[in-house]
Amino acid sequence: ASTSSSWLFVVAAWGMHQARRGGVVGGAAPAARRNVVLIILDDLRPELPGVAYNCSEVVAPAMASLAASSVAFRRAYAQEALCAPSRNSFLSGRRPDETRAWQFVDDFREVGPDWTTLPGAFKRAGYETVGAGKVFHPGLPPAWDMPYSWDDRMNNSVWEPWLYPSEPECPGRTSYCAVAVDDDEEDPSQFEDTQTSAQLAKLLANVTAPYFLAAGFRKPHLQWRFPSRYWPATAGAGTSPHKFAPIDAPR
């Protein structure tokens, strides 16, 4: 469970494939529908290098590259200081006072059994909706909101079931540890997010356009377990004050 009040959400529209749409309106050629990728990072403060947040302490060159051609929303805040109710809120498009989900017990389906979620809206629009990792909080709603939000093949054993990965604990259950892995033969099972990435690659190999892909990465949620080769890039970086805290927020 997460108690952080910050997430990073990235919505990227990918035009890698032409979507098939029936009919021609007014003699115009059918419009192509872009593929959509939703990336969710758990417990990440709004701090990244580059134009998004200009935080040089963070080493994330790929995210900085993406941000260079993106729109950054610097006054977007989590709906709750807890993981499950915030995910129930933004994925259903309703505030917690309407979802009635404020903790790790209830979910929005209890009050809105026919509500359409963000991925569900794309599914109804003819997109293939797939995903892996921590998108909804585990069990809230049940079964990752199958079959309402996701492609039916993820719910009837045609494809592998929803992947929510796990990883070995750090020695002594410490909050972080560096793990020695071979640079060229990295074992995806060693880390939660590498398992999620591998599963997303499988899904991408099977979906056809247009698709909605949800990538739920659990880091930087504790524990911080990472390949040891990245340690020199982060050692001694320390922490920086929150640059975008709400005005007059209690400290």
The whole-angstrom separation of Cα 99 and Cα 236 is 42
Pairing, β 128-133 against β 8-14: unpaired
- Whether the CB-CB separation of 49 and 61 falls below 8 Å is answered with yes
Residue in 17, 83, 177, 242 annotated catalytic: 83
- Whether the CB-CB separation of 7 and 86 falls below 8 Å is answered with yes
Beta partners for 213?
A: 37, 130
Catalytic residue flag (residue 83) = yes
The whole-angstrom separation of Cα 132 and Cα 34 is 20
Token readout for 206 is 């099977």
Catalytic residue flag (residue 242) = no
Q: In what order do the strands lie in the sheet with 211-217?
A: 8-14, 35-41, 211-217, 128-133
Contacts of 104 (CB under 8 A, 6+ apart): 1, 82, 83, 84, 137, 140
Residue in 137, 170, 177, 221 annotated catalytic: 137
The whole-angstrom separation of Cα 11 and Cα 14 is 10
Count the neighbouring beta carbons within 10 Å of the beta carbon of residue 75: 7
Burial class (CB in 10 A: 0-12, 13-18, 19+), 61: exposed
| Cα 72 off chain centre by | 16
Question: Mind telling me the catalytic residues?
Answer: 83, 137
